[in-house]
Amino acid sequence: MFMKLKVTVVAVVAALCVFGFYVLKPAETLTKEQVILSYVFQATDKFHYLNKKIDDDFSAKAYQQYLKSIDRGKRMLLATDVAALDKYKTEIDNEINEQAPLAFYNEAQAIIQKREIEIEAVYKEILSKPFDFNVAESVVMNEDKRSYPANENDRKELWRKLLKYQVLSRYHGLKERQSDTVKVKKTDVELEKEAREKVLKMYEDWSKNIKQNDAMEKFSVYVNALMSVYDPHTNYFAPVEKKDFDIHMTGRLEGIGATLQEKDGYVKVTAIVAGSASWKQGELEVGDLITEVAQGADKPVDVVDMRLDKVVSMIRGPKGTEVRLTVKKVDGTTKIIPIIRDIVILEETFAKSAILQRNGDDKKYGYINLPSFYADFSGEAGGRSSANDVLKEVERLAVNEIQGTIIDLRNNGGGSLQDAIEMIGIFIESGPVVIVDDPSHIPHPYVDPDPKLKDAKPLIVLVNGYSASASEIFAAAIQDYKRGVIMGTESTFGKGTVQRFYDLDNFMPTHDQYASYKSLGSVKVTISKFFRINGGATQRKGVVPDIIMPDVYSGMEQGEKEEDFAMEWTKIKKAKYKLYPTQPNYKELQDLAKMRMDTSSYFKTLNSHLMIVRKEEKADNVSLKYEDYDREMKEIKASNQQLEKIIDGMHSVKADYLLDEKAQIESDKALKERLGNFHESLVNDEYIYQALISLSQMKK
């Protein structure tokens, strides 16, 4: 285990101190929304890395961000609506600074709610009549190239074309599936009608969900639109949203352990977490439809047509309490299932390892998958830390006499900075691992807290375009020390900032008249920027792998650089550090990998596929003629089939249990099920296969 660092800056922590925040007006004159907005901006102004002024320039940017939030596709608001709201362009800062009534928000809400009602009538009318897919016309799909409709007729025409495209897509899919599998075929008229009904159902669900948005959900959208002008990662969290974030960070929740999905107005059980309360109770099954939820012996609540997140919040609850689910079984029968809630451990969020071998190579290699840099800051017993868990996996793998290690950080969006620092220390002896710059602009290097080297074996780190934040800190340090080889797509995400949570209730005056405002929620503020030990930031640029392998995300406009108001890339003085004494043979590995990429049927096919897909993605206008759509889809389908054929015939990777797992799996069915699913996900992964080859070629 690691000793805990005395690090004050972590990606996610709770603020416990009460700061001197002000209330300008008597409590009885303020709405809860005004109080939230005031405290959100006081906290952000006090703690944010950037010293932004809340002035007319800020107001104009915030105004545009909110319009994008409520009508990103310019499908709802009319040009006259925007013109009517333009008077608030430079007033938002005044509403914030003076705790004034929220005139812009209230008027915008009144307009958008009216337009939502109108649009419901529009899509129903349009979808009541057949479309003619022989007409040569197109629709602008690039939202940035659209203008707000001048009037209701223009808006209706835009909706007609957008709906026609969505029906065309489904109609084409129905025709394709029917041609392959159905003996008694439906007519084109019947298929077009079925496609329209599917799109209608989709929009009816959309309208239903909008109507279930409560006042705080709507207000959260407004606050976050304003906060985004600081940077993409400074956000407001209503209390329920903060709970969901904590679940993601800790991998723990109190509930029943079932994965749920909304399906035709019902909440459907799609999976049972092995070892959970539902799994142990045994009566809830995949495919069950939940119709009612009761808290113990209380009166059940009908949840048919209720939004999924609201049903989930009713089913979750404190450990030891009972929830009773009324479910409709697959055979049509109804059953009441009582379940005693328990701690649900979301094992898929935690580090896990396997022994891997490549066909033709009898050497064994260790593989560790880390989905996020999780940490439990609550201080409760049983809380887990990603750094400690990775150390345990390293120690377990060592017993299996492995020849090298792969750390898989693909799609790992980051998390705890402290855990990233500690995890780097597993693979180096000592030295700085990251430099943090706070609003004082006095850069501070953070050092590996444990001088002992825990793993000296050859190391490869797998990343992709969605490896972000703490993942980039880890990959950058490994690269800068020349400790291991980074393999992955062109660049990681490029998030080089650190955030901290502040509970707004802690800033409230203690007077009784303010008690009714609680709970206000939390604000996550960007408090610092981190830099590599070589002085460069990962912000916007990310980490460029030593060995680049194209993947399905290659060529996409993605990453921090694509976000509105993303902080700029900067550079500072580099730290003093010594390179790892036994460095990988980078040039040889890069040359060998390039030869493999150039000759690999998988990567050649993938590159051809990406050229076709990216061409379609970048098209501003899309044809609504069936003949044109069919030609484009056939090209993509043929490319997909070629890629799938290559994948099916790819070199397989053998995944095996660790020695201590082999002793457990026969008596622990839940463990056997989890590990079986995990191993299955590894065996046809071309990127793991390539990493294994590079490991075998790495200089020892």
pLDDT tens profile 434-470: 999 998 889 999 999 888 999 999 999 999 999 999 9
Alpha carbons 192 and 130: distance in angstroms, whole number: 7
CA distances for 72 relative to 75, 76, 134, 179, 231, angstroms: 8, 9, 30, 37, 18
* Residue 140 dihedral angles phi and psi, to the nearest 5°: -80, 115
Alpha carbons 689 and 675: distance in angstroms, whole number: 19
Q: What is the pTM of this model?
A: 0.85
Closest to 698 measured CA to CA, from 592, 614, 597: 592
pLDDT of residue 19: 52
Do the Cβ atoms of 633 and 172 come closer than 8 Å?
Answer: yes
pLDDT of residue 531: 97
Alpha carbons 512 and 18: distance in angstroms, whole number: 17
Alpha carbons 228 and 67: distance in angstroms, whole number: 13
Q: Which residues contact 609 (CB under 8 A, 6 or more apart)?
A: 639, 640, 642, 643
pLDDT of residue 378: 60
511-538 burial string, b = 16+ CB within 10 Å, else e?
eeebeebeebbbbbbbbbbbbbbeebbb
Q: Cα–chain-centroid distance for residue 678? A: 20
pLDDT of residue 430: 92
The conformation of residue 507, written as its DSSP 8-state character, comes to G
- Segment holding 407, helix H or strand E: strand 405-408
Segments of the chain scoring below 70 in pLDDT: 1-28, 179-182, 242-253, 274, 345-347, 377-382, 511-513, 649-651
Closest to 15 measured CA to CA, from 434, 529, 375, 527: 527
3-class DSSP assignment, residue 447: strand
CATH of region 252-345: 2.30.42.10
How does strand 621-623 pair with strand 138-140?
antiparallel
Alpha carbons 477 and 194: distance in angstroms, whole number: 55
**What is the secondary structure of 319-351 as a DSSP string?**
TT-EEEEEEE-TTS-EEEEEEE-EEEE-GGGS-
Which stretches does DSSP call E strand in 545-632?
547-548, 621-623
The conformation of residue 254, written as its DSSP 8-state character, comes to E
Alpha carbons 447 and 454: distance in angstroms, whole number: 16
Total Cβ atoms within 10 A of residue 571: 11
Indicate the fold that domain 1-52+231-249+347-584+651-700 takes in CATH. Answer: 2-enoyl-CoA Hydratase; Chain A, domain 1 (3.90.226)
pLDDT of residue 397: 97
pLDDT of residue 14: 35
pLDDT, tens digit (0-9, with 9 covering 90-100), for 115-148: 999 999 999 999 999 999 999 999 998 888 899 9
pLDDT of residue 638: 87
Residue ranges of domains in the chain: 1-52+231-249+347-584+651-700, 72-229, 252-345, 599-650
Rg (CA), the chain: 27
* Residue 536 dihedral angles phi and psi, to the nearest 5°: -85, 150
Q: Is the peptide bond before 519 cis (omega within 30 degrees of 0)?
A: yes
CB-facing half-sphere around the CA of 494: CA atoms within 13 A: 21
pLDDT of residue 382: 62
What is the residue type of 231? D
Alpha carbons 409 and 371: distance in angstroms, whole number: 7
pLDDT of residue 613: 79
